[in-house]
Amino acid sequence: MELSLFATPRVFSEAMAKGAHVIVIDVLRASSTIVQATENGVERIIPVAEVEDATRLLPTLKRADTLLGGEQDGHTIDGFDLGNSPIEYTTRVVTGKTLIFCTTNGTVAITKSTAAADIAVGCFLNLTAVVDRLVEAAPDRAVVLCAGNSGTLSLEDFVCGGHMVARIHAAMGSRVTLNDGAAAAFALAGCMPDPETMIRASVHGRKLAELGFEQDLEFCARMDRYAGVPVVVDGRISGDDSKPR
């Protein structure tokens, strides 16, 4: 298996996604929120790259059963029901609902991966489950796509991806080859074994703390809280952790 890691979607193209199995990571906070929402019973999530896409889609759905969620630059979007804090996405709020979800980085990475053969959403919360799913599938090509931060590297995504690469390499040994991004993330993750310490030291983590989202940092650092893997099928995310196609 050829395993590649890309630090941001800016260095990744739809052509590169074609035929690959892609894992999208946005630790702070889109991936963590998607995992939390699916675990808490959301019916489906529709990821969109732009706010205009969300508002255009909303009138085509039953409003009473639909939530608008997401953020731009860390702030809840005007007119949206929810922000991008996973703590907001409780069972009471999301069970049985359709969620239209738009974020600055995470949903952009997801929509850029649409040509992939399989798309999974991962973070620290479901890291082992994501790795096990990919190792079992053993595709010829796999990509760990970090959402980054407005086109730049995000430490928390890169290190989380590195931990995934390390686990995949440990399971597959010589059957996996790494690109330079995967090798670099693998090496860095070995120096940063504690997710919460790393997240709090990151630029994005510090910004969220300043914005009052201190609890999110602790939550998003929890390793293997869940065993489910959200998957993207035909542009829709469900909590179905069935085997890759």
> How do the pLDDT tens digits run along the chain, 245 residues long?
999 999 999 999 999 999 999 999 999 999 999 999 999 999 999 999 999 999 999 999 999 999 999 999 899 999 999 999 999 999 999 999 999 999 999 999 999 999 999 999 999 999 999 999 999 999 999 999 999 999 999 999 999 999 999 999 999 999 999 999 999 999 999 999 999 999 999 999 999 999 999 999 999 999 999 999 999 999 999 976 544 54
Check residue 240 and give its pLDDT. 61
Q: How many C-beta neighbours within 10 Å does residue 174 have? A: 6
Q: Which candidate, 39, 138, 135, 130, places its Cα nearest to that of 87?
A: 39
Check residue 239 and give its pLDDT. 79
> What is the residue-wise DSSP string for the chain?
-EEEEESSGGG--HHHHTT-EEEEE-TTTHHHHHHHHHHTT-SEEEEESSHHHHHHHGGGS-GGGEEEEEEETTEEPTT-SB-S-GGG--HHHHTT-EEEEE-SSHHHHHHTTTTSSEEEEE-GGGHHHHHHHHHHH--SEEEEEE--BTTB--HHHHHHHHHHHHHHHHHHGGG-EE-HHHHHHHHHHHH---HHHHHHHSHHHHHHHHTT-HHHHHHHT-TT------EEETTEEE---PPP-
CA distance 245 to 241: 11
Pair 126, 224: CB distance under 8 Å: yes
Burial (0-12, 13-18, 19+ Cβ within 10 Å), 228 = middle
Enumerate domains of the chain plus CATH numbers: 2-231 (3.90.1560.10)
Directed axis angle between helix 155-172 and helix 127-137, to 10°? 40
Check residue 242 and give its pLDDT. 47
| Prediction pTM value | 0.96
As a whole number of Å, the CA-based R_g of the chain is 16
Residue 10 dihedral angles phi and psi, to the nearest 5°: -65, -30
Q: Which candidate, 133, 134, 132, 160, places its Cα nearest to that of 145?
A: 160
